[in-house]
Structure 1
Amino acid sequence: MKLSLLGDIQLPRLPVPPLENTMQKYLKTLQPLLSDKKHDEVKKLVDKFAGENGLGRKLQLYLLDRREKLDNWAYEYWLNDMYLNFRNPILINSNPGMVFPPRKFTTILDVARFTARLIDATLDHKEILNKKALPIEKATSRELGQPLCMAQYYRILGCCRIPGKNRDSQYIAEIVQEQDHPSEHVIVMCRNQQYCVPIQAADRGRLTEEEICAQLLYILNDAPCQGNIVPIGILTGWKRTLWAEARDELMRDEHNERNIDLINKALLIVCLDEALPPAFNCRLQKGGKGFNAGNRDESNLAHQMIHGGGSRCNSANRWFDKTVQLIISGDGACGLCYEHSMAEGVAVIQLLEQLWKHADSLGDPAEVLSLNISHLPPPERLEWILDANDMKRIEEAGEVVDNLVKDLDFQVFRFIGYGKSFMKSCKVSPDVYIQLALQLAYYKLYGKLTATYESASTRRFLLGRVDCIRSASPEALQWVMAMSQPKEDVNNKKVTFHLVSDDRKYELWCEAVRVQTQEMIDNILGMGIDIHLLGLREAARETSPTAASALPDIFTDESYRIANKFLLSTSQVATTMNSFMGYGPVEPDGYGASYNPKNDQIIFCLSAFWSSEVTSTSRFAQSLEESLNSMQVLLSRRNEA
């Protein structure tokens, strides 16, 4: 056992799964993805690697020794591989966006008051963090009541990702222990400009909500009056190595260096946006209607939160490296863009829902009109010292961002046929149910399954983040094949029959559910294969007597690439409010699919790239709807029998 870094709660270290178990699971994972001949070839590679004299056994001992020495043997490996080594732009490719139910703003005072409430509530939360008084969450299933690691909850406010030429790094704010009122500030972005707003100072204490509101009103009035604004924020949406080089050049000037330091250390960023044009991403949206802001639908709102709409809209009104960017626009659209390396969605969602509920609990912001605040200095507008090379980089970054934005095929699809109440009545976990629905939808479109990623929390362990639930199992393949069998005519008559009976389909369904459920349990209990395989791969690099790139055959064989090419990247993002979170695909020909199951509906956020000749969110949404309906028919008949 190991003491948690955040209190006296004891948390175990992440286990290193038995080598034999991981190898067996790996071979099973590859079954639906490879031909029988290729699978036999891979089995020989695995047997060689994990055999009595194989390199795998030595690497396993290396990981076991690493486990004894570190709080979490896999954390650095995983963080680098998942995030910090990533060299493409992080907007769309990495940063999720979250949409909250729109507000009704009549004046800029409404905007300022609501935003001030969010900032004020953020300070309340930061005080709890400084005291390390955040309640410890407990597991709600599988070893019920087991404490969960809270470390990532302390890596949200005041934190920032730092671009690097080969690998990014992180600025993580220290948790203040002695001072009751440490200095805090936020960065407010408006019309592509950055304003520093001190909201708490050691010498004068904490600003009131009215004082914060007055500072925001100043910005909302001042920003439109500024001319010749350089959209420097667009650089944060560039490729990571190029952004790192541009940042290094900027920081040669001490004025720019101070600006970047203020942004890095800000509690969070507030983006006061302009609304996207209603025609942005204009398309026929499938599913039940959700909310809208003005004439803008949910998909339009999601685009705003994920990327801002391009350089001519709000993409330069961002700092994509910052962990938390609250987004508020004058037409009432509200949401979040967050940098993913610091924390998983559950931690960020919990914070944001807390802020929104606080703002909602205080009534109409227009009721408070007393804003005669004259004793405060105005917010500081950050000014940048730029040369011709900086301007060229900004232009090039804008082109990259605009191309990414244009390429994103994104759709919010509300399935209103049923929700998790029906799934639970079938005695199936809603997450397992939806994962199998996604497999069926993919198979109906492409006639095969693909490597599928679903994040599984490993917070039962110290510094635990996630491992990968792989939903494309051999059992899932057998079930989706049965569900996709066509009907055939009998002697050219209208009577039709299924090649596979409903009873057989149900048997295959039960087996697929059993396997998927066990896969989920294995992962949350630290027995997933992806973190272990990553550890073995990195251990091989660290212990290789030759070049650092020397790897065992199982990691250089094409099968390993296929196993890790996630053309279906999925995640359950549950919320207590009528909000949702989405993100882009992780592969050029892949899909992103987040889902938020409610009692009577499921909110899907589906993404792909227009440049792909094989993907389409419209076709995927149609296939998903058909799959969910056919599953209901099958299971309803069984329940009635």
Structure 2
Amino acid sequence: MERYLIAMQPLVTTSQLERTRAIVKAFSAPGAHGTRLQLYLNEQRELKDNWAYEYWINDMYMNNPLPLPVNSNPGMVFPPRKFTTVHDVARYAARLLDGVLDHKEILDKKALPIERATSREKGQPLCMTQYYRLLTSCRMPGKVQDSLYSRLEDNQDVKNNNEHIIVACRNQFYCVAVKATDRGRLTEDEICSQFLHILNDAPCLASPPPVGLLTGDNRRKWGDNRESLYQDERNRRNLDLIAKSLLLICLDEPLPANFNARALRTSSSSSASGNLDETNRGGYVGYIAGHRDETNMAHQMLHGGGSSLNSANRWFDKTVQFVISNDGVNGLCYEHSPAEGIAVIQLIEQLLKKCDELPPGSHAPATLHSHLPPPERLEWQLDARMHRSIQEAAQNIDGLVEDLDLYVHRFTGYGKNYIKSCNVSPDVYLQLALQLTYFRLYGHLVTTYESASTRRYHLGRVDCIRSATQEALNWVTAMCQGEGGGLKSPPDSEVSDDELLNMGKKVTFSLYTEQKKLELWDAAVKRQTEIMIDNIMGQGIDIHLLGLREAARETAPTAAHPLPDIFLDETYRIANNFLLSTSQLPTTSDTFMGYGPVVPDGYGASYNPHPDMIVFCLSAFHSSETTSTWKFAHSLEESLTAMQKLTQLKNSK
């Protein structure tokens, strides 16, 4: 409770903090409600492998009704490939899949090496459960709550040695058997042949109803629609095949180089009915990856581009979806609930290394292997109600895509090599850079989320590093003293924006010496480091608070019994309104991952520090009057430059 108060001090008004302090005191007094709930959690700890896991996954994912694209599923951009013919597309897809099958065999033998902590009690084993969920899971929508299907827990499927994937091409879905008890695993050439069949077959077919769009709709609506689809035997088989597949491979059309997400509404109506004309469907084949920037590529991985492009060529519930566009742009969209980014990145880097290291093989066109049955195309039985639902889903996903403000920014001034020379963790450094950036734009700090791995514990996933500390506020205030123009008043402030702007214009010199800024910097670094260590060692506050809240619900005399005041308090609402949602997603390859904001007026900010540069993927919503990724990137550039000047001064002493 003390840590909670300390965390909220720089984010709320004095009166709010004093009210919360009184609530906390009453809640945590001996024999009070909080201590009784703590005893309940202690009992749950003895009964469960991880008392927090179910609370956490339900709160983070299963109870969230928002559509998966943009709001939940991250996207990952791989280095573009050079495709000359359709055979190159098929060969690359086959090589990726062959690598996945190698990896799956290791998983089936439970032979994945156990990772160990590399800092803070080095050598502790880390939980590997989420690595085993990647290729065995599918998120299932529900009318009340989502659930996570796992083949590992499916008694009917656990002994099944057969493996299949789903391939999406021009909104058609194909089932490809890649391993069978009667003939074993397909070779890379045989897999390539199956992809060629699909690439030749799909363009010759009439446009199908874009059923995939349903998976990108509100989770409760999709849960209702899925239940209706499941009543038909053919649909039921299709849905089961998709849920039990290893993964999806989405063979896409490229986004246009001048892709404008905000212009989608003009074209969504035709695609929703499944009558997209061939000009729109194939009109972008001439674009090459060199004409598309990284922001464009990230859009394709996050959502597909809308209903008139590739959003129906997805099944957003599936954990792993490889996206391969015929212009060489490729990457991944993944459903987040089974695993964190670290498990995904490890698999991807392994696969990309295989694609780059293995000899390209025969450049002669792969032949269609006549001894193999062709891939099974999935056909759907849809009534008028379902067609209307697809049209509504198209409008909804197009609105979501149109609203997404996305910007990929490569900062080339320096990278993690320089940061490490300052004896600072790159993650700590960049978290403080994000705090400085936000303060430069708005004049105050906001609730910030950074994921911290808790894999030292069985079934551990993440807790929240709260980077907006009082020490960070003291430092950014000193750094921005005298800048003036960018300041805005914090929420509930008695000082208006205009008054603050005038104040900023009057103060044109810094009241802080460089030495004082360095002292405040050191304090901010120390505090951020302490919070990071607390979280990875299992001493964060957010999972614990969540547990106490859910314990209150479970032990309430009636369902209508109110929660304790601490969870109804305005400070608690602010504490969980993450206007900055951030994550370090480091890779050794030239790949990067991004995601959308988690609140309407917020930012998403992932960062990937390389030795001599840093890749940021920034997101916001156009519908917000207060956010702009371009302005954020510009402020971020200024912040990183100012931080280098400050730290160089320290290094020179």
TM-score over 0.5 (shorter chain):
yes
Alignment of 1:46-445 (within 5 A): 46-174=24-152, 182-281=161-260, 293-364=289-360, 367-371=363-367, 373-445=369-441
Counterpart Cα distance in 2 of 1:332 and 1:610: 29
Alpha-carbon contact 2:96-2:355 (below 8 Å) kept: yes
Secondary structure, aligned partner of 1:32: coil
- Aligned-residue RMSD, C-alpha: 1.8
Following superposition, the deviation at residue 487 of structure 1 comes to: 6.6
Counterpart Cα distance in 2 of 1:622 and 1:548: 48
- Which residue number in structure 1 is paired with residue 550 of structure 2? 538
Counterpart Cα distance in 1 of 2:314 and 2:558: 44
Following superposition, the deviation at residue 294 of structure 1 comes to: 3.4
- The answer to whether the aligner puts 1:576 opposite 2:598 as a matched pair is no
- The residue identity in structure 1 corresponding to 2:643 is M
Residue segments in structure 2 that go unaligned for 5+ positions in a row = 263-287, 485-507
Counterpart Cα distance in 2 of 1:377 and 1:549: 60
Counterpart Cα distance in 1 of 2:159 and 2:317: 28
Alpha-carbon contact 2:319-2:334 (below 8 Å) kept: yes
Alpha-carbon contact 1:181-1:200 (below 8 Å) kept: no
Alpha-carbon contact 2:481-2:509 (below 8 Å) kept: no
Counterpart Cα distance in 2 of 1:76 and 1:587: 23
Following superposition, the deviation at residue 191 of structure 1 comes to: 0.1
Secondary structure, aligned partner of 1:410: strand
Following superposition, the deviation at residue 374 of structure 1 comes to: 1.1
Alpha-carbon contact 2:478-2:510 (below 8 Å) kept: no
Pick closer, same or farther for the CA change 1:376–1:487 going to 2, 3 Å. closer
Following superposition, the deviation at residue 363 of structure 1 comes to: 2.8
- Which residue number in structure 1 is paired with residue 647 of structure 2? 635
**Normalization by structure 2: what TM-score?**
0.91
- Which residue number in structure 2 is paired with residue 9 of structure 1? none
Following superposition, the deviation at residue 65 of structure 1 comes to: 1.1
- Which residue number in structure 2 is paired with residue 14 of structure 1? none
- The residue identity in structure 2 corresponding to 1:62 is Y
- The residue identity in structure 2 corresponding to 1:551 is L
- Aligned pair count reads 605
Alpha-carbon contact 1:581-1:605 (below 8 Å) kept: yes
Deviation sequence 1:345-398 (CA, Å, 0-9, x none): 000111111111111112335625452511111100000001110100000000
Counterpart Cα distance in 2 of 1:47 and 1:323: 43
Deviation sequence 1:298-319 (CA, Å, 0-9, x none): 0000000000000000000000
Alignment of 1:493-504 (within 5 A): 497-504=509-516
Secondary structure, aligned partner of 1:612: coil
Following superposition, the deviation at residue 53 of structure 1 comes to: 2.8
Secondary structure, aligned partner of 2:89: helix
Following superposition, the deviation at residue 282 of structure 1 comes to: 8.8
Alpha-carbon contact 2:585-2:608 (below 8 Å) kept: yes
Alpha-carbon contact 1:433-1:513 (below 8 Å) kept: yes
Following superposition, the deviation at residue 180 of structure 1 comes to: 9.8
Pick closer, same or farther for the CA change 1:397–1:497 going to 2, 3 Å. closer
Counterpart Cα distance in 1 of 2:71 and 2:317: 13
Pick which of 59-68 and 363-372 moved more.
Answer: 363-372
Alpha-carbon contact 1:432-1:513 (below 8 Å) kept: yes
- Which residue number in structure 2 is paired with residue 529 of structure 1? 541
Secondary structure, aligned partner of 2:452: strand
Deviation sequence 1:183-205 (CA, Å, 0-9, x none): 00000000001000000001111
**Normalization by structure 1: what TM-score?**
0.92
- The answer to whether the aligner puts 1:27 opposite 2:5 as a matched pair is yes
Pick which of 367-376 and 386-395 moved more.
Answer: 367-376
Counterpart Cα distance in 2 of 1:548 and 1:122: 48
Secondary structure, aligned partner of 1:294: helix
Following superposition, the deviation at residue 38 of structure 1 comes to: 1.4
Counterpart Cα distance in 1 of 2:233 and 2:457: 42
Alpha-carbon contact 2:168-2:248 (below 8 Å) kept: yes
- Which residue number in structure 1 is paired with residue 579 of structure 2? 567
Residue segments in structure 1 that go unaligned for 5+ positions in a row = 1-22, 284-291, 489-495
After superposing on structure 2, the runs of 4+ consecutive aligned residues of structure 1 that deviate more than 3 Å are 175-181
